[in-house]
Structure 1
Amino acid sequence: MVDERGTLRSSTTREGFAVLGVAIRREPVIFVLSTLGSVLFAVLTVADAWVLGWATENVVIPAFDDGEIAAGLLWAVLGLFLGVAVLRAVGIVARRLGAGLMQYRMQSHTRRAVTRQYLALPMEWHQRHPTGQLLSNAYSDVEAAWGPIAPLPMALGTVVMMVIAVVQMLVADVVLAAVGLLVFPAVVVANLAYQRLSSPLMTRAQGLRAEVSEIAHESFDGAMVVKTLGREPEETARFSVKAHELRDVTIRAGRIRAVFDPTLASLPNLGVLVVLAVGVARVTSGAASAGDVVTVAYLLTIVSFPIRAIGWLLGEFPRSVVGFRRVQSVLRATGAVAYGEASLPPSTVGARLELESVGYSYDPATPLLREVSFAVDPGQTIALVGATASGKSTLTSLMTRLVDPDHGRILLDGVDLRDLRRGGGSRAVALVPQTAFLFDDTVRGNVTLGAQIDDEQVWAALRTAQADGFVAALPQGLDTQLGERGTSLSGGQRQRLSLARALARRPRLLILDDATSAVDPEVEARILSSLREGSGDTTLVVVAYRKATISLADEVVYLADGKVADRGSHAELLARRPAYARLVNAYEQAAHEESEAGPAQVLGQTAGERA
Structure 2
Amino acid sequence: MVVVDLAVFAVVAFRQVILNARALSIRYRLNDDVYQWIRALPKVRTAAAEPFVFDRWLTRTGQVQSPRSRSDRIQGVVSAFGTAAVTASVLLAYYLLSGPIRGDLDDAEVVSWVAAYTGLLAAVLQLGGLSENIGIMVSVKRRLNPLLESKTEDYAQGAPLPPRGDICFDRASFSYGVDDVPAVQDISFRVSPGEFVAMVGPSGYGKSTLLRLLPGFESPASGSITVGGQELADINMPGLRRQCGVVLQDALPFAGTIFDNIQGSGHLTWSQAWAAARAAGLEEDIRRMPMGMSTVLLDGGAGLSGGQRQRRMLAQALAKQPAIVVLDEATSALDNRTQERVSASIGALHVTRIVVAHRLSTVMTADRVLVMRDGRIIEEGSPDSLIQAEHGEFRDLVRHQLG
TM-score by length of 1: 0.57
2:339 counterpart letter in structure 1: E
RMSD between aligned residues: 3.4
Report if the CA contact (8 A) 1:268-1:303 is conserved: no
Distance 1:484 1:267 in 2: 56
Find 2:316's aligned residue among 501, 507, 529.
501
Report if the CA contact (8 A) 2:2-2:121 is conserved: no
Would the alpha carbon gap of residues 455 and 304 (structure 1) be closer, same or farther in structure 2, given more than 3 Å must change? same
Other-structure match for 2:227: 412
Distance 2:217 2:127 in 1: 48
2:167 counterpart letter in structure 1: L
Find 1:355's aligned residue among 169, 174, 187.
169
**Pairing 1:102-121 to 2, within 5 Å after superposition:** none
Distance 2:109 2:181 in 1: 82
Distance 1:317 1:361 in 2: 36
Other-structure match for 1:563: 377
Q: Which SS does the other structure have where 1:374 is aligned?
A: strand
Other-structure match for 1:229: 47
More strand by share: 2
Other-structure match for 1:452: 267
By how many angstroms is 1:314 displaced?
4.5
**Pairing 1:157-176 to 2, within 5 Å after superposition:** none
* Bigger mean CA deviation after superposition, 463-472 or 351-360: 351-360
Distance 1:500 1:369 in 2: 29
More helix by share: 1
2:72 counterpart letter in structure 1: G
Distance 2:172 2:113 in 1: 80
Q: Identity rate of aligned residues, in percent?
A: 27
Other-structure match for 1:553: 366
Other-structure match for 2:69: 251
Distance 1:185 1:408 in 2: 58
Report if the CA contact (8 A) 1:372-1:564 is conserved: no
By how many angstroms is 1:292 displaced?
8.0
2:399 counterpart letter in structure 1: N
2:76 counterpart letter in structure 1: A
Report if the CA contact (8 A) 1:369-1:563 is conserved: no
Report if the CA contact (8 A) 1:354-1:410 is conserved: yes
Distance 2:97 2:54 in 1: 63
* Bigger mean CA deviation after superposition, 304-313 or 438-447: 304-313
Q: Which SS does the other structure have where 2:240 is aligned?
A: coil
By how many angstroms is 1:521 displaced?
0.8
Report if the CA contact (8 A) 2:161-2:228 is conserved: yes
Report if the CA contact (8 A) 1:351-1:379 is conserved: no
Distance 1:374 1:329 in 2: 33
Find 1:326's aligned residue among 130, 143, 150.
143
Distance 2:372 2:10 in 1: 63
Report if the CA contact (8 A) 2:16-2:131 is conserved: no
1:558 counterpart letter in structure 2: V
By how many angstroms is 1:432 displaced?
0.9
1:312 aligns with 2:129: yes
Q: 1:334-392 CA distances to partner (integer Å, 9 max, x unpaired)?
A: x66688632222x3xx5432333444455878555454433333223232233334432
Would the alpha carbon gap of residues 308 and 260 (structure 1) be closer, same or farther in structure 2, given more than 3 Å must change? same
Other-structure match for 1:434: 249
Q: 1:398-455 CA distances to partner (integer Å, 9 max, x unpaired)?
A: 2222223344333322222222123232122222112131112222222222322222
By how many angstroms is 1:476 displaced?
2.6
* Bigger mean CA deviation after superposition, 265-274 or 241-250: 265-274
By how many angstroms is 1:567 displaced?
0.4
Other-structure match for 1:576: 389
By how many angstroms is 1:231 displaced?
2.4
| Higher-Rg member (1/2) | 1
Q: Which SS does the other structure have where 2:320 is aligned?
A: coil
By how many angstroms is 1:469 displaced?
1.8
**Pairing 1:146-545 to 2, within 5 Å after superposition:** 184=2, 187-188=5-6, 190-195=8-13, 197-270=15-88, 305-333=122-150, 341-345=158-162, 347=163, 351-361=165-175, 367-533=182-348, 535=349, 537-545=350-358
Distance 1:351 1:467 in 2: 30
Q: What residue ranges of structure 2 are gaps of 5+ in the alignment?
A: none
Would the alpha carbon gap of residues 457 and 297 (structure 1) be closer, same or farther in structure 2, given more than 3 Å must change? same
1:428 counterpart letter in structure 2: Q
Q: What residue ranges of structure 1 are gaps of 5+ in the alignment?
A: 1-182, 590-611
Distance 1:564 1:261 in 2: 67
Would the alpha carbon gap of residues 186 and 414 (structure 1) be closer, same or farther in structure 2, given more than 3 Å must change? closer
Distance 2:220 2:99 in 1: 85
Distance 1:197 1:267 in 2: 20
Q: Which SS does the other structure have where 1:384 is aligned?
A: strand
Distance 1:300 1:412 in 2: 71
Q: Which SS does the other structure have where 1:423 is aligned?
A: helix
Distance 1:365 1:324 in 2: 26
Distance 1:338 1:298 in 2: 57
Q: 1:60-117 CA distances to partner (integer Å, 9 max, x unpaired)?
A: xxxxxxxxxxxxxxxxxxxxxxxxxxxxxxxxxxxxxxxxxxxxxxxxxxxxxxxxxx
Distance 1:306 1:547 in 2: 73
By how many angstroms is 1:530 displaced?
1.3
